[in-house]
């Protein structure tokens, strides 16, 4: 279903495209993340994945990478810490910064889970050709960087 807005064609086209983008994103995300264990949120998965691929990060860097507020990320990291998947450490060079790193349990957990998520992403994106994937990536980057 498109917009019911009765404005200029530019507004109608923009709203219709936005609605389709949002619906597609939510739908694909739900299917991709269906393999996440009960109790693990998409944001928690994002934290684990970032730490797995990038390494230890300050909480502020994590928040920026995941496009989350500092307060939201604090709660997410709190819950991951309670599950013993991450630990926080004060940066010895600058004690104002809190560095988040995977624990051994967290590393094992994300190393086993990540391939399942990748398989779902690959399955979902198989609906598009290589050219379409490239175009989609380019277009998403173009609108995502707009300020």
Q: What are the pLDDT digits (tens) for 78-111?
A: 999 999 999 999 877 777 788 999 999 999 999 9
Residue 147 is predicted with a pLDDT of 54
Residue 70 is predicted with a pLDDT of 82
Cα dist from 144 to 15, 76, 138, 140, whole Å: 16, 24, 10, 6
> What is the spatial distance between Cα 34 and Cα 142, in angstroms, rounded to a whole number?
28
- CA 72, 77, 80, 85 torsion-angle sign: positive
pLDDT, one tens digit per residue, over 19-55 is: 999 999 999 989 988 999 999 999 999 999 999 999 9
Residue 104 is predicted with a pLDDT of 97
Residue 107 is predicted with a pLDDT of 97
> What is the spatial distance between Cα 65 and Cα 56, in angstroms, rounded to a whole number?
13
* pLDDT of 1 over the 70 cut: no
Contacts of 68 (CB under 8 A, 6+ apart): 43, 62, 76
Question: What mean pLDDT is predicted for residues 104-123?
Answer: 96
């Amino acid at each position: 279903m498109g917009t019911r807005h009765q404005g200029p064609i530019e507004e109608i086209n923009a709203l219709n495209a936005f609605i389709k983008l949002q619906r597609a994103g939510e739908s694909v995300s739900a299917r991709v993340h269906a393999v996440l264990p009960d109790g693990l949120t998409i944001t928690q998965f994002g934290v684990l994945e970032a730490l797995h691929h990038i390494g230890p990060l300050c909480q502020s860097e994590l928040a920026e990478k995941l496009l989350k507020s500092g307060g939201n990320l604090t709660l997410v990291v709190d819950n991951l810490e309670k599950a013993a998947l991450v630990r926080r450490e004060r940066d010895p060079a600058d004690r104002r910064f809190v560095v988040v790193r995977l624990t051994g349990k967290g590393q094992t957990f994300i190393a086993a889970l990540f391939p399942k998520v990748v398989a779902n992403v690959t399955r979902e994106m198989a609906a598009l050709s290589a050219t379409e994937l490239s175009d989609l990536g380019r277009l998403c980057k173009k609108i995502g960087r707009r300020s």
